[in-house]
């Protein structure tokens, strides 16, 4: 098994003195945010011990470090999906290296299907909580006390203070930013209409195939989390449009145009208040 020290030693060959304030995980169609980084240092995932390279269209599998509004930021351009057979150990490394590089805050972005009729494709949603419907928890197994405690509370997983900042910045910029609960499925098949009806009854507002494990791991190692999602489609059974990954990328790009403007301003505000 690859150790975190081996992972960090490989990263430090590229960036010996880089320490970040904020980490960003970029979901499907949202990679353009990384293009705003100044003086970027780019490392492909395959060059980092402990990480797997994703094979999903729209995920470039690059760790990019640089300055955003003068603030040192890590962008994980492309995430690791469990439906690809990625070992959970790689997902742990994926999140924990962000903390090891100095970040105090993690912004998780994701493409989601909307379970709300008033929030459609191309819009954004601020995540307030999640329901983990994946068949595992990333903390199962021996606990590393140097990373975090055996048991971690999840009552403020999506940080109240960071959400207040996001809402305030969005209002100032003239963006609508509805809030909602994310339900995480393992995929890769999309959900059935019957499942979506059940999830709406459970209180879910958005559905996707990631986020929950990353947030659990982030909270375990002490990262504050802000969740921002790009709505790419109405969930199954809510519209006549056929669900496709190509559609996800298309509408993700529309929402990304808003997030590309919003996230740098949120990071600037976070830097002022922390």
- Does residue 2 fall inside a structural domain? no
pTM score, whole prediction: 0.93
Q: Is 59 a catalytic residue?
A: yes
Q: Is 84 a catalytic residue?
A: yes
- How many domains in the chain? 1
Are 230 and 27 spatial neighbours (Cβ–Cβ below 8 Å)? Answer: yes
What's 255's domain CATH number?
3.40.50.1580
- Does residue 61 fall inside a structural domain? yes
Domain with 90, as residue range(s), is 19-141+151-273
The residue annotated as part of the active site, out of 239, 245, 250, 271, is 245
The residue annotated as part of the active site, out of 60, 84, 89, 250, is 84
Burial (CB count <10 Å: 0-12, 13-18, 19+), residue 210: buried
For the stretch 184-231, pLDDT in tens is 999 999 999 999 999 999 999 999 999 999 999 999 999 999 999 999
What are the φ and ψ backbone dihedral angles of 272, each rounded to 5 degrees?
Answer: -70, -35
- Does residue 165 fall inside a structural domain? yes
- Does residue 4 fall inside a structural domain? no
The CA distances from residue 168 to 106, 110, 173, in Å, are 18, 21, 9
- Does residue 192 fall inside a structural domain? yes
Q: Is 83 a catalytic residue?
A: yes
The residue annotated as part of the active site, out of 34, 111, 157, 236, is 111
**For the ranges 111-120, 158-167, 179-188, 245-254, which has the lowest average pLDDT?**
245-254
Q: Is 130 a catalytic residue?
A: no
For the stretch 7-44, pLDDT in tens is 999 999 999 999 999 999 998 777 788 889 999 999 99
Of 107, 94, 126, 111, the residue nearest 217 (C-alpha): 94
- Does residue 266 fall inside a structural domain? yes
Q: Is 45 a catalytic residue?
A: no
The residue annotated as part of the active site, out of 61, 65, 81, 182, is 81
- Does residue 175 fall inside a structural domain? yes
pLDDT band at 247 (very low <50, low <70, confident <90, very high): low
- Does residue 9 fall inside a structural domain? no
Q: Is 238 a catalytic residue?
A: no
Q: Is 65 a catalytic residue?
A: no
């Amino acid at each position: 098994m690859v150790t975190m020290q081996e992972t960090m030693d490989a990263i430090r060959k590229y960036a010996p003195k880089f320490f970040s304030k904020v980490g960003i995980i970029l979901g499907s169609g949202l990679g353009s945010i990384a293009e705003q980084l100044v003086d970027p240092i780019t490392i492909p995932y395959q060059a980092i011990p402990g990480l797997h390279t994703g094979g999903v269209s729209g995920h470039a599998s690059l760790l990019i470090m640089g300055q955003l509004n003068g603030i040192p930021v890590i962008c994980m351009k492309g995430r690791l999906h469990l439906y690809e057979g990625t070992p959970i150990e790689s997902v742990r490394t994926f999140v924990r290296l962000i903390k090891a590089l100095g970040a105090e805050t993690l912004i998780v972005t994701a493409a989601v299907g909307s379970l709300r009729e008033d929030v459609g494709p191309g819009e954004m949603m601020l995540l307030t909580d999640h329901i983990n419907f994946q068949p595992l928890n990333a903390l199962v197994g021996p606990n590393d006390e140097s990373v975090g405690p055996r048991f971690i509370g999840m009552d403020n997983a999506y940080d109240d203070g960071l959400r207040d900042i996001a809402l305030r910045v969005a209002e100032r910029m003239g963006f609508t930013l509805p809030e909602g609960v994310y339900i995480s499925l393992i995929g890769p098949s999309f959900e059935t209409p019957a499942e979506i009806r059940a999830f709406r009854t459970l209180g879910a507002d958005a559905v996707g195939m990631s986020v929950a494990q990353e947030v659990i791991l982030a909270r375990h190692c002490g990262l504050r989390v802000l969740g921002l999602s790009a709505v790419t489609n109405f969930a199954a059974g809510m519209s006549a449009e056929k669900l496709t990954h190509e559609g996800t990328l298309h509408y993700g790009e529309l929402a990304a145009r808003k997030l590309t403007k919003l996230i740098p301003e949120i990071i600037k505000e976070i830097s002022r208040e922390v």
